[in-house]
Structure 1
């Protein structure tokens, strides 16, 4: 029994070996027709240069691939790989924007190998116009300068860039942005930074467009700040008949900014020249400021109010009055007063003093109750309102009272 099994097993092994040898012979010698699927063949776009010459471009270009089923003798197709096959889409004949479906051409196969089908057999492309525009560059600053400093003016070079690309994409670009950080800075910040293109919703557009320049140089001034007094710049003094009692400035101080080495030498800001020689009463003058070079005003002030309070000067004056009058003489009497010049000294505002003459001063004696005879009477002096009597001489005069001749 065991010998029989051994003999049958040997026969079986011999049969299998014979079948393999026979199959190998048939395959190698007969070479039957067979098919093969080549997957993931890269598709190249041909004619991009011609398309660009017409100011056109593909806006949905990506890494396209196709699968190709081929047929041929087994020995002819067995070693063909996807990389041996070339798949091409031609665009050189396109001359207007729009959506186009273009056939995929397959080449690179041996002549005796047949293409059974290509999947997909065509590629859909979106063609758009190529446009070029100028886009302004805006600076965006993050961080804050050192305490006591502020941001000054900035410059961007260049302040515009040219952007080229598909019309549908370029028209979305609203702004080019350069960003810098100035946190803790106490001096000018100069940086060369990349440009970001943004649409109307601040979304970045980073692909599909070409910038002539991808970097800009940004200069951001950092300025020191300081509070200084405003000083009236008096060039012509007040009229000699008046005194200035006070001058006040509103506002009294203002905040300025500039490079620290510049502000160190500035202790005040002068007004424009002020002429006071026309002022005869309290007056408010609106006047501009003289701003030193390289200094910036931080307060929204370029003019101030100067309040000038004035007083008219007092002046002492002396007038000689040559006539002494007598008042209140009794009826039936007359008087005789020898010529007696009376020197009157008084004080008053210049405008009043200047207008006083001898006729404006009353010098008199009181004759009430006097009987005929010679009387030594005190002299009185009366001045117009607003004048102050200081002295007069003589103080007395001899007055003769006698009956009238009637």
Structure 2
């Protein structure tokens, strides 16, 4: 048996070592994130410290790094390069690249060692929304005037792009349509040539809009008919509950699309809704208005899907508020006269809506008496003039008593 084991001993030992090396190779091949000692690696470059009001306008490349003394247990996911933009400013500038490496791993070489980046400030701009309608409707139908809501949106993005951005678009297809199209679509950004606007990374949006969508109405009517957007007017009857007032009465929507022949629509410029009864109404209320209860000219109709309502907003009525310690001035007093006693501050009562009166103070109110052409002597129940903040009134004019006397010349007793 011993002779059997000794036979070809060198070859057996070599085979055993080879088997171990092969096993290690297979194990490492199964772990895609394991690092191979001293092999150059391509790692991502990330930006850090970028101020909120700035944006990077250059695509960040990968960085080729050669390491030495790599920790066998290190993971490639823990290695990355970064560029510090905390001191960045608009325009092009060179920035140093630093590599984040595991403990015990030395960075031998970095390519590139620095990078030229272009930064831009982030600004906001309000631009109009334009509907881009493509395609043709069904046979025998035509498209009317398109309505977009909202008509403008607030766009946020790089100032260099916003300076040339004149509108945003919403795209709607009318292909084969035989009825009015009502749809909500996201806004898109295009340059003056109609091409989509992309940032340095096409997968990341560089512009954003608020709101990000718009409602589009595209009238689709028979060719013998025309369409028209007509505003709504509303009326009410009755009075709200005691202590309440009608703050506002508004239609919803503000305007609607109507259909009819060109002759029928001629001179038809508004639709009257109501009156709605607000008698004893103590809170806000929405009044649905059936379409068949609205008087339209002969040959005119609402477009499909039209719904109407009137919103009545009810608020607290006029209230009173006492203001103490209001200073009273005397104006236009003759140069040789003076008050025998200073005018003391007085208390007054003002009126107005609760949300207007809540912040009114004595310092916001000016009171004065007019002493034009007055002579020395007493003045009882003198009229007081006032200036009050907007929305504030005074139902009872205040009065004051005062007395004037001649000034005593200096040095004369």
Identify the structure with the greater strand proportion: 1
Q: Which has the larger radius of gyration?
A: 1
